[in-house]
Amino acid sequence: MHEATKAAKVSFYDYIVIGGGTAGIPLATTLSEKYSVLLLERGGSPYGNTNISSVYNFGSYFLDSSPNSPSQQFISDGVINARARVLGGGTCINAGFYSRGEPNFNVEARLVDEDLVQKSYEWTEKVMVFKPVIQKWQSVFKSALIEAGLVDNGFTYYHKIGAKIGGTIFDPNGTRHTAADLLQNANPNGLSVLLHATVHKILFKTKGKSRPLAYGVIFTDSLGNKHIAYLKKGEKNEIILSAGALGSPQLLMLSGIGPKEQLDAQNIKVVHQQPFVGKGMADNPMNSIFVPSPIAVEPTPLQVVGITRFRSYIEEAGGVNFIFANPSAYQGFSPQMGGFIFEKINGPKSKGELKITNLDPTDNPSVTFNYFKEPTDLQKCVNGIKTILKAVESKAYSSYKYANMTVKYILDLNMKLPVNLIPHPNSFSTLEQYCKDTVRTLWHYHGGCRMGDVVDDEYKVKGVDRLRVIDGSTILNSPGTNPQASVLMLGRYMGVTILEQRLASGKS
């Protein structure tokens, strides 16, 4: 692992992976077993940064707008969101919950080898996943979900309807383990990792070719110096985009692949007209209730979830700042003086679009998700909020000795919180209005290079050669209660698949 300032001006590799995140790291690590791989990450290292590593500092980076922040803020539909800018990607800034996706995700993602899916999950779990230590806040929440009508599924990594305890990437000491830890499995002679390496465009050969052929990338280091990395000779060598739901469609367009009208507007030469790049952007809307406590609640980001039959997920986070707000606005309550119960709808029908606004790859593209545009999404939210209210009104919370307050006191106190935090649903005319006015994000946005539209069943970009996209931008529906397990698995699965295909072809 080196700063890009130490990189050669010109270099050659069998594979170039753009994006050292949730999919890119397991992918590059796997490919390095047999081939030379360059992994380009636009951010820095997660190691030594206690804001990333410690559960007690969860969420602090969301308010850090400095260039070196591991989190880059963007806004869509008025909702503040964040994208990772650090080696390890979203595993460095998320709430740490680990749960495998539902079986239908494997079908949508064209992952046909069930045995390899299982082994790919296990490959990740050996390094960075733990069984959480359930404390008082989570125990009460789980009991409340069961009282609200969900069956008890205990502890499991699998996606099951009911209440369950999932895995976590925070170890028992409260230390986060990120996708960067998977690099310990890499071949050190096969993998080069460059930090603060910002890719500006992918290079294509078009002269004398029936289809554009990807053959290299241009990237800059932290000092602005330009470097070029080329693919070595070999028809199986490839460039793989793993820059995420914002970065991958953005880089495709900056490289000349995308809707012609967008490329023309930025005076980008059209390499291949692809109208679906940037289309089908989606984010799972989240709505929350804050439950105050007169004494501190242990910091526990997301360890228990409720999976409902109506495709809403009920989740929790105790003692952490789970929203973008100034803690001083809590009127005497710090984030540790309570917890959040929130719901996220699964498989939103509402879709939006990503557009580039300039030629700077470090800037955010323009993104719209169109939260609750489709009525079915709004109804899922209403059903989820009703389930939360049942849980809060349960005996589990009314006898919550840790907080030592009655349900009525919880609700009354919650309604007194400032509107810029989490107002209670009872303060709105309808639950539909509550869902619309208090919508936030769980950072599970996806789309932009969707399977079937932009990439084929092998994640190869349609209409060009030697270029794939393997990350959350290809996903049709965010898998499970949290997508990180499935995206980590996808990176490993496709890495193994590519190696096996290359071996079967007899071409090194």
Domain final position from 438, 457, 483: 438
> Does a structural domain hold residue 358?
no
Q: Is 258 in the same domain as 327?
A: no
| Whether pLDDT at 235 is above 80 | yes
Q: Is 60 in the same domain as 190?
A: yes
Q: Is 218 in the same domain as 159?
A: no
SS3 337: coil
* Owning domain of residue 325: 132-165+285-345+372-438
The domain spanning residue 150 has which CATH number? 3.30.410.40
| Whether pLDDT at 206 is above 60 | yes
What's the confidence (pLDDT) of residue 175? Answer: 94
Query: For a pLDDT cut of 90, what percent of the chain falls above it?
Result: 68
Q: Are 377 and 350 in contact (CB under 8 A)?
A: yes
pLDDT tens-digit map of 365-419? 999 999 999 999 999 999 988 888 888 777 766 665 444 443 333 444 443 443 3
Mean of the pLDDT values across residues 54-80? 85
Tell me the backbone φ, ψ of residue 366, rounded to 5 degrees.
Answer: -85, 130
> Does a structural domain hold residue 214?
yes
pTM, rounded to two decimals: 0.91
> Does a structural domain hold residue 235?
yes
Mean of the pLDDT values across residues 445-456? 97
Q: Are 319 and 297 in contact (CB under 8 A)?
A: yes
Q: Is 188 in the same domain as 243?
A: yes
> Does a structural domain hold residue 213?
yes
HSE, CB side, 13 Å, CA atoms: give it for residue 83. Answer: 23
Mean of the pLDDT values across residues 17-30? 98
How many structural domains does the chain have? 2
Question: Which of 63-67, 74-78, 169-173, 309-313 bottoms out in mean pLDDT, i.e. has the lowest?
Answer: 63-67
pLDDT tens-digit map of 306-336? 999 888 899 988 776 554 443 443 444 454 5
Q: Is 297 in the same domain as 182?
A: no
Domain final position from 386, 415, 438: 438
HSE, CB side, 13 Å, CA atoms: give it for residue 487. Answer: 35
Question: Which of 307-311, 390-394, 423-427, 478-482 bottoms out in mean pLDDT, i.e. has the lowest?
Answer: 423-427
The domain spanning residue 197 has which CATH number? 3.50.50.60
Mean of the pLDDT values across residues 121-125? 97
Q: Is 266 in the same domain as 400?
A: no
| Whether pLDDT at 423 is above 70 | no
Q: Is 324 in the same domain as 302?
A: yes
Q: Is 444 noted as a catalytic residue in this protein?
A: yes
Coarse DSSP helix, strand, coil percentages of the chain, rounded to the nearest 5 percent: 30, 25, 45
> Does a structural domain hold residue 56?
yes
> Does a structural domain hold residue 474?
yes
What's the confidence (pLDDT) of residue 508? Answer: 62
> Does a structural domain hold residue 269?
yes
Q: Is 245 in the same domain as 331?
A: no
| Whether pLDDT at 469 is above 60 | yes
Average pLDDT, the chain: 88
Catalytic residue among 177, 196, 424, 444: 444
> Does a structural domain hold residue 9?
yes
Locate the DSSP E strands across 279-396.
Answer: 279-281, 285-292, 300-307, 312-318, 338-345, 352-355, 366-368
Q: Please indicate whether residue 392 or residue 114 has the higher confidence score (pLDDT).
A: 114
Q: Is 82 in the same domain as 203?
A: yes
Q: What DSSP letter does each residue of 214-240 carry, written as one string?
A: EEEEEEE-TT--EEEEEEPS-TT-EEE
Q: Is 123 in the same domain as 140?
A: no
Q: Are 46 and 86 in contact (CB under 8 A)?
A: yes
Question: Which of 87-91, 305-309, 349-353, 365-369 bottoms out in mean pLDDT, i.e. has the lowest?
Answer: 305-309
What's the confidence (pLDDT) of residue 325? Answer: 40
SS3 175: strand
Q: Is 67 in the same domain as 118?
A: yes
Domain final position from 384, 410, 438: 438
Question: Which of 42-56, 95-109, 222-236, 379-393 bottoms out in mean pLDDT, i.e. has the lowest?
Answer: 379-393
CA-closest candidate to residue 374, choices 289, 436, 325:
436
Q: Is 77 in the same domain as 187?
A: yes
- Model confidence at 337, pLDDT cuts 50, 70, 90, reads low
